[in-house]
Amino acid sequence: MATLDPLDAMLLTAELISSPMHVAVALIMSPPKGMTGTAFIDEMYEQGLTAPDPIDPRLRRRPHRGVDTGGLWAWREVADLDLSHHLHRLTLPAGSNTTALWELVSELHAEPLDRSAPLWMAYLIDGLVGDRCVLYIKIHHIVVDGVAGLQMIADSLTTDPDRRGMPPFYASAVPDEPATKRRGFNPLSVVRDIAGAAVSGLSLARNVASAEVANIVGGLMTSTVAAPFGAPHTRFNAKLGPGRVFAATSLDRKRIRAIQDAADVTSNDVVTALVTGVLRDWLTKQDELPDQSLVALCPVTVRGRDAAGDDGHGNQFGLGLCPLPTAIEDPAERLSLVHYAMSNVKHQVAANGPGAMLIVLMPAVVPTALSPLLPFGSRVRPSYNLPISNVPGPRERSYFNGASIDEIYPVSVVYDGMALNVTLCSYADQIGVGYVADRDVLADIDDLIPLTEVALAELEAAVRVA
C-alpha cells in the first residue's frame, strides 16, 4: 500500500476546510511557422486525446482513504484514465490581450479538482493577441511540488525548433510497466506503514528540538530571524472567498544578475527583495503599511535541479519564515537584510532537514490559517503574511512540436490566512512573476505589475547598476 507522506495527507485534509490546494503553470506559445494558433491548438488537443504514449504514473493515481487503508490516505491507481475529463479546449475572444487571459486563468484556478479522478487538469487555449496560444495546467500540490511540476513540463519540451512528433506533456518520461493488480486489505501492510511512519517521526526529535531553540533565540537576537506569531496583521491574513485574481509579468534575467553581482547576493535574494519593495509601495499607497516589517513563508526545496522527477514523493521541501524589511526605506539595506534572512532559512533547512522544519513551523502555520475562521482570530498574531517561492524552469529557450515557448508563468496556492501568493519561475533569459490572490482581498492585483518595474529600478539604482 502506497500511503501519502504526512505533509501530503495534511494538505489534502486542509483543503476540506480551506481553499483548493493545487498549483498551476501557464505557458504562452507562438505556433510553428506556417501554422495558425487555432490549427496548432486543435492538433495538440486531438493528439492529447488519442496519443498512445503511457501516462506519467503521478497523473494516473488518485488519493483514497477507507477501511482497506486503515484510515490512512493512500494512492490508488486508475486503470482506465478518461483523458477527456482532464484535457479541455477553450478559445478566447479574437485578439484578447493578457489581461483577458489572466481573467480566464483566475476563473479556472478557483475551481477545485475532482477527487474521484487523478488530480490534474489541462486547458488548451487559443485566441491570444498575435495569434499566440496557451497551455494552462493545474495539478494538486500532493501530486507534485513546484520544482517537480516545472521539471515535468521541461521534460516534455525540446531545444530543437525543428523536432516534430513529440509525445504529449502528460506522457511518462520512462517506459511504462504493467500495472500490478491492486491487492485487497492487508492488516500487516497497514501496521507496517503506520509503524514505519512512527519510527520516522521519532528520528526527527533531535532536529526538531534544535530548530525550535534556534528560531526562538534567533528571533530574540536579530531582525533577520522571524519568531512564530511575530508578523503584523495585514489584509492578506483574512478568510478567503470563492473568487481568485491573477496577474503576471516578466523580468529580464540580465538585470537580476547585474544586481546580484553588484551586491554579492543570490538571485533569489534579489527577487525576494524586489517583492518586498512591491509590497511596501502597494501598502503605502493603500495607507496600510505596518510599522513592523512583514514576514514571508518561504519553501526551500531539497531536490537537486536534475532530480525532480517521479521519485515517489509529491513534495520535497522545507519551510522557513523570512522577515521582509518593508519598514526599511533604503532598497540596498532591504536587499542586505533579505540576504542574511534567506541565508538563515536555507541553513536551518539544510542543518535540521525539511521534515524537522515542517514540524517546527506547524504550530505557527496552522493557527495563521485557522485564525480567520475563528471569532477571536483577530487577537492571534499571524506568523507570516504571504508565501514567496522561486522555482527553476527550463534553462534554454524551448519548443513543443515547433511551437516556441515564449513565456512561463507560475500560478500558486492561496488559502485562509494567506490571501496573496507570489511565485517566480526562471525560464531561459527571463523570470516570470505570478501574483495570485483572493478577489475580495486584492481585486486590483494588476496594480502590482507596474510596481514590480519600479521596485526593480530602485534596486538597480541602490546598488549603482546602470
Q: What angle do CA 44, 112, 137 make, to 5 degrees?
A: 25
The residue annotated as part of the active site, out of 22, 141, 233, 347, is: 141
C-alpha torsion angle, residues 59, 62, 63, 66 (rounded to 10): -160
Contact 54, 175 (CB under 8 A): yes
Residue 206 burial (10 A CB sphere; 0-12, 13-18, 19+): exposed
**Rounded Cα–Cα distance for residues 212 and 214 (Å):** 5
Contact 233, 368 (CB under 8 A): no
Q: Is 85 a catalytic residue?
A: no
Contact 385, 364 (CB under 8 A): no
Query: Where does residue 308 fall: left (phi above 0), alpha (psi -120 to 50 degrees), or beta otherwise?
Result: alpha
| 3-class DSSP state of 296 | strand
Cell numbers that stand for 176 in this block: 511504462
Q: Per DSSP, what are the bridge partners of residue 319?
A: 299
**Rounded Cα–Cα distance for residues 322 and 341 (Å):** 6
From start to end of 338-442, where are the E strands? 386-392, 399-400, 403-411, 420-427, 430-438
Helix (H) or strand (E) holding 374: none
3-state SS, 47-105, equals HHHHCCCCECHHHCEEEECCHHHCCCCEEEECCCCCHHHHEEEEEEEEEECHHHHHHHH
**Rounded Cα–Cα distance for residues 105 and 78 (Å):** 28
Burial 57-92 (b: 16+ CB within 10 A, else e): bbbbbbbbbeebbbebbbbbeeeebeeeebbeeeeb
Residues 6+ apart with CB under 8 A from 137: 24, 25, 27, 120, 121, 122, 123, 153, 169
Q: Per DSSP, what are the bridge partners of residue 247?
A: 435
**Rounded Cα–Cα distance for residues 105 and 365 (Å):** 27
Helix (H) or strand (E) holding 22: strand 22-30
Any idea which residues carry the catalytic annotation? Answer: 141
